[in-house]
Chains A and B, each alone.
Chain A
Amino acid sequence: MSKKIIATTSLAGCFGCHMSFLDIDERILKLVELVEFDKSPINDIKVFTRPVDIGIIEGGCCNSENIEVLKSFRENCKVLVSLGECAIMGGLPALRNGIPIEECLREAYLDGPTVSENKEQVLPNDPELPMLLDKVFPCHEIVKVDYFLPGCAPDADLIWNALVALVTGNEMELPYEVVKFD
């Protein structure tokens, strides 16, 4: 059986979900037997090199680059999985959604109590930078997402069970322990 190809990315997230992914510990050896990684921070491949079976997204979308990457995942992956609170709901970054973006920028770069060095009142506007969105969006509001793995961060066993189910085509194991959050 040919191995399934996997790609992963972290958009507006903290890499916590990827860390949790690595918490599968020694099962990572088993994983290498089951799948091959394409574009992913885990192997540092930056662009898609072939069609991918499963794309795993951490984080929501807060800027134009997130949108671009997410869309490229949708184009290149057969199945897309939102991993963790931020990808599913926007998460912590989405706390700014109730506040106008202008106010957020002012607080961050001009008026905030921790701003001490910006006498010229410079705002980040280099054309190289991604453009900020007015709100932080969960991934499924930008592209069609097939599966959702909740948690902050999702339990390593939840990620493992989901991957195994997706790769083998068997039903997923969902014992209570992997989806309770307290």
Chain B
Amino acid sequence: MNNKISRITKRYSEDPARLLDVLHDIHSLKGYVDDDDVEQLAIELVLSEATINEVISFYHFFSKTPVGKFSIYLNNSITACFRGREAVKRALEESCGTTFGSVSEDGLFGLFDTSCIGMNDQEPAAIINGLVFTKLTAFRVKELVKGLKEGKPVSELIYEGTGGGNNADKDIQSMVQNNIRKGMLLLNRDYHKFEVLRKELKQHSPLEVIQIVEDSNLRGRGGAGFPTGIKWRFGRRVDGKHRVIICNADEGEPGTFKDRVMLTEFPELVFEGMVIAAYATAADIGLLYLRYEYKYLLRFLNRILGEMRTEGLLGKNAAGIKDFNFDIRIQLGAGAYICGEESALIESLEGKRGEPRDKPPFPVEKGYLNYPTIVNNVETLASAVKIIKHGAAWYKGFGVKDSLGTKLLSVSGDCRFPGIYEVEWGTSIREVIEMCGAEDVQAIQVGGPSGVLIGLKDIDNLGASNLMKWYKPSGMMVAQKFYDRKLSYSDLPTGGSIIIFDKRRDLLQDVVMNFMDFFIEESCGSCSTCRNLPSVMKQKLQKIIGGHGVRQDIDDLLSWGKMIKVSRCGLGQTAANPIVSSILNFRDLYEGHVQAMTDFDNEFDLEKSVQAANNFVGRKSVFHQN
């Protein structure tokens, strides 16, 4: 028995539901988890070794083998690629003396790819031993690695000094920039911390709070857009020994980073929202699921929770309300996009692999440890605070009919001013483009890879005959000018990721391929559709790009895109979107690649295919021509 490991499991009362924390602590201790550790954990946490191993293998930031004294995870989002990732990668390989996917011989450096880390407005970015380094260049990589070799602590190597705002806080000390370009209701300095908890909240009964939120028509900002008031009402109705509020800060959709900025600049607003939700639904357990990539915010956020406890805003009789007992714990994720899906997130919170559950039952009925559970996005909870503060009527003054209030957009890609823009719902694509200073726009990805790629072709001379057909997630085709499409739940719904591609970009080869790689990497593997089809579809796309495609291939892609919809969760259901939406909106790119004169091309090469076996058995390849 290793005492150090025992001390770690004791720290979490040998609770198997805290397996993620235990594994994180072992990683901090020695960098990876070996078979002996697993054996010991199995005994102390009363889990099977297989269970522990499958959890370790599920998460990107857990490892059974050493990952280097300095483990460097370089983001591979499309924006990083367009901002010079390749040069950074080469510089890293040269100066660390190893290749990506492995550890240098001296055990000093491990180099790994990783999916979008929420820094799309300051790429290329990497995580080194839990700290974020942004705007990397080959030059900076060399300095950085030199510093690490000289034994300087990672935290001292931040080359530009700390970023603005709270990034400079003593408990953050990060070089990450906020890049807040436009604020309205949430990103507003006219915010007095915890004022609503101290004043307005007490003036309403829990049911009144729900009613106000319902009246405001607030809808979930995590992507799905479920009405928040109704979710709270459902959650309150279900009986349970405990009730749970979860704040979803997993923010894994490539291209979003607004939750990061909210948690950096307005963490109080988010926690305040959680307390309000708990009050409204009579919840006693609060959990904020923070993606591992944002670990650098953890100490800061915990400090604020501590302050809230000191001020009586959390704990027994929270916010001075009798018999309202509520506290919040932050759970760190471990690298998995799927853990943003609410039921997978709950599995992960219980210390398991983040595989989505079958629904129903929905989390409001049976969620965390089977208690009724309300999962809300960071932005949703923050909006609820403003609604309680100023009232539903006030809130309805912003936005458009089916989409009220504001939306935080994470804008990145080919534009002069990437960053966070808080806009009213109903803002058009034209306005977004003008706002962020984008020129020569070819296409825009709305809602990240799981959203849609919409085109800009011929915007300047789009005549009546040129009206384009637009695909809507509902499956309806509508004719509409691209420029005037509006961000809203009925036209262009979005969790806020906006990635802009100008005319230099090769949409199929670079963008769509990158997005497909993302889904292939992030599928949890549970449904065969989602596990297999993205790979097969990518192969077919590769075939088309390589000049071997036929028209049938395009039709196959569309029909397989329908088949994948039977997957259990939203990840699988949207995993074909990069291909399907680019076919629908950029069909000519595909047709330009496929062969017109043949209806079959298989790329099969008999001569090549028999080579290996013939070499091995020692015979010549002879072909009969008939």
Contacts and interface: CB of A to CB of B under 8 A. Distances in A.
B602 A102 contact: no
Nearest to A105: B616
Interface stretch (A7-15, A49-57, A125-133, A166-174): A125-133
Contacts of B476: none
Interface in B588-626: 599-600, 602, 604, 606, 608-614, 616-624, 626
Nearest to A145: B600
A144 B609 CA distance: 19
Instruction: Classify chain A's interface size.
Output: 20 to 34
A64 B611 CA distance: 11
Interface centre among A105, A125, A126, A127 (most CB of B within 10 A): A125
Given A143-B600, A144-B599, A105 B609 contact: no
B612 A131 contact: no
B606 A102 contact: no
Contacts of A64: 606, 610, 623
B445 to A, nearest CB: 32
* A interface, over-half SS: mixed
B144 to A, nearest CB: 39
A36 interface: no
Interface in A122-147: 123-127, 131-135, 137, 141-144
A68 B602 CA distance: 15
* B interface, over-half SS: loop
A19 interface: no
Interface in A99-124: 100-102, 105, 123-124
A77 interface: no
Contacts of B622: 127
A123 B616 contact: yes
A67 interface: yes
Given A100-B612, A127-B622, A143-B600, A67 B617 contact: no
Interface of A: 64, 67-68, 72, 100-102, 105, 123-127, 131-135, 137, 141-144
Interface of B: 599-600, 602, 604, 606, 608-614, 616-624, 626
Given A127-B622, A133-B609, A141 B604 contact: yes
A131 B616 contact: no
Contact of B600 (A102, A132, A135, A144): A144
Nearest to A65: B624
A124 B611 CA distance: 15
B603 to A, nearest CB: 9
A127 B612 contact: no
6 contacts: A68-B624, A123-B618, A127-B620, A133-B609, A134-B609, A143-B602
A105 B623 CA distance: 22
B616 A102 contact: yes
Contact of A132 (B608, B613, B620): B613
Contacts of A134: 608-613
A131 B613 contact: yes
Contacts of A105: 613, 616-617
Given A68-B626, A105-B616, A125-B618, A142 B610 contact: no
Contacts of B618: 123, 125
Given A125-B618, A126-B619, A137-B604, 14 more contacts: A64-B606, A64-B610, A101-B612, A101-B613, A105-B616, A127-B620, A127-B622, A131-B619, A133-B613, A134-B611, A142-B604, A143-B600, A143-B602, A144-B599
B552 to A, nearest CB: 8
B30 to A, nearest CB: 34
A162 B600 CA distance: 24
